[in-house]
Amino acid sequence: MKVSVIGAGNVGAKAVYYIAEKNIADIVMVDVVDGLAGSKAMDFLHAAPLRGYEVRIRGTTDFGEIEGSDVVVITAGIARKPGMDRMDLLKTNVGIAAQAAREIAFRAPNAVVIVVTNPLDVISMVVLRETGFALRKVVGMAGVLDSTRFRWFIAEKLGVWPGDVQAMVLGGHGDEMVPLTRYTSVGGIPLDQLLDAPGIEALVKRTRTGGVEIVSLLKTGSAFYAPGASVAKMVEAVIKDERRLFPASAYLRGEYGFRDIYLGVPVVMGRNGVERIVELPLTDGERKSLNDSAEAVRKGLAELSTVMGEKA
């Protein structure tokens, strides 16, 4: 099997490392910066005797190397910098993602594409349009990351093993995400049996700002360990046809009452990408929160139309 990662920055490189450690596929890293992907690939290979992975890893500037990939991950793009507004970020990353998508369509037409570049839900729509792939073949990585942050905050608060915590976070990848506390449990015990309402709400708020918390500490960048691990988990589900149930950004055609939009929902991930979308019954409050999240994504799509109109 073959996985290609477009973008050899922090998130892309960590994703490659975690995928390599699973020994499930050969990996190609592509980056436009000369020597960046090649140097990191060589460094990874030097660690192979110590870490025990046997897969081939190649770094290059040549998109031709992604030919025949089973999965392609798009992490390429810029992070939002001081003084940069949403439209500046969108204009730059739309161009980067669109170029990557066209290369994927030409060189890896059977691949499942996992989008990581922000603004994620909007960029996923760009990749879908530019590749012309089936809807299930293009999926955004956000819910796995948001959920694992929620899981960690809960485990930290309760003093339990994080692996015993199960959580589900829906909606767009931003401040309007919707952690579903009713569907969150610790060792099978509902969260509300272990924490009071104010305690749960505090964890929900921290989850929504988890990425910002890291940026404020790091000052010159954003998270990459947890995003890289989240990418690797999704790649593994596809390569091994695991049919794992994850929250991920999927194209909706009426599910949850939304149409023609990418939004974080529970999906079953397997060899074909999004094998199916799982619809959960929601309370009125949960549905309102999901509507608010979808509205934020729609605002991004309206901005996308403006950007694409300028490029026309």
Just list the catalytic residues: 173
* 3-state secondary structure at position 269: strand
What DSSP character marks residue 171?
B
> Residues 122, 173: contact at Cβ < 8 Å?
no
* Distance of alpha carbon 280 from alpha carbon 258, whole angstroms: 14
Helix (H) or strand (E) holding 99: helix 86-107
* Distance of alpha carbon 181 from alpha carbon 191, whole angstroms: 7
List all residues 6 or more positions away from 172 whose beta carbon is below 8 Å from its beta carbon. 120, 121, 142, 249, 263, 264, 293, 294, 296, 297, 300
* Distance of alpha carbon 121 from alpha carbon 139, whole angstroms: 9
The C-alpha angle with vertex 150 and arms to 242 and 221, in degrees rounded to 5, equals 95
3-state per-residue secondary structure call for 71-87: EEEECCCCCCCCCCCHH
Tokens 């709400």 belong to 201
* Distance of alpha carbon 141 from alpha carbon 229, whole angstroms: 11
> Residues 69, 62: contact at Cβ < 8 Å?
no
